[in-house]
Amino acid sequence: MLYFRARNGTYKRVPQKPSEGLKGIGGITVYYIPPLGQNKTTAFKPGFRMLVGDAALRGPAQTEKLDPKVCHRCMPLTGDNNNLNCAAPDSVTLPVKFCAGGIRSVITFPTCWDGVNLDSADHKSHVAYPVKGSVTDRFDYDGGTCPASHPVKVPQVMYEVVWDVSVYLSGRG
């Protein structure tokens, strides 16, 4: 959830809206993306769980500054068909300017699994992102080489939310 803080200190929940070209009433778009060029991708086993990010953070995590997995984009009213996740013009911080088409937030989950544990105490350590520098195709953002500790490739899960900030950032809210 995203909240807008008004000048008087009150908070209002920011509504969600569907991405341009999709039909719906707000919500979240979930993508399951098999890595390009990979012949072997393992489906999620029943009971598999994972998390990404840290709900307690109030700024970008150090690792996300180097290789973002949670990012945001100020969307124009129409015509932004650049679907690359966490690529320019995305940022790890929320935009502070008026975004006529809303703010798009993307959360990209790990694509490498240890192959044994369906979950872990932190819901994160049984999964990992590909080795930094192993992704060679800009259209296959998380299709790189898995670390030896997490050798099993799983589909990429990506969440996309568009926040309808137009009322709040235009001064009408």
> What does the pLDDT average to over 22-29?
81
pLDDT at 170 over 60: no
Q: In this structure, is residue 78 part of a structural domain?
A: no
The segment with the largest mean pLDDT, out of 17-26, 65-74, 163-172, is 17-26
43 located within any domain: yes
Q: How many independent structural domains does the chain possess? A: 1
Average pLDDT for 69-91: 81
Whether the Cβ atoms of residue 105 and residue 163 lie closer than 8 Å to each other: yes
pTM of the model: 0.80
Output the pLDDT for position 60.
64
Task: Assign 1 a pLDDT band (cuts: 50, 70, 90).
Answer: confident
Query: So what's the pLDDT on residue 62?
Result: 60
The count of other CB atoms within 10 Å of the CB of residue 71 is 21
Residue 168 forms part of a structural domain? yes
Cα gap 34→43, rounded to integer Å = 10
Give the count of beta carbons closer than 10 Å to the beta carbon of residue 60.
15
Report the 3 state secondary structure along 92-140: CCCCCCCCCCCEEEEEECCCEECCCCCCCCCCCCCEECCCCCCCCCCCC
Under 8 Å CB-to-CB from 9, ≥6 apart: which residues?
none
Domain-located, residue 151: yes
Would you state the pLDDT for residue 119?
97
Structural domain of residue 151, as residue ranges? Answer: 1-57+108-173
pLDDT at 48: 97
Tokens of 114: 């240890």
- Per-residue pLDDT, 18: 86
What does the pLDDT look like over 104-163, one tens digit per residue? 999 889 989 999 999 999 999 999 988 876 665 555 555 678 899 999 999 889 899 999
Domain assignment present for residue 76? The answer is no
More confident residue, 35 or 7: 7
Q: Indicate if the pLDDT at residue 65 is higher than 50.
A: no
Determine the pLDDT at residue 70. 85
Which pLDDT value is given to residue 137? Answer: 56
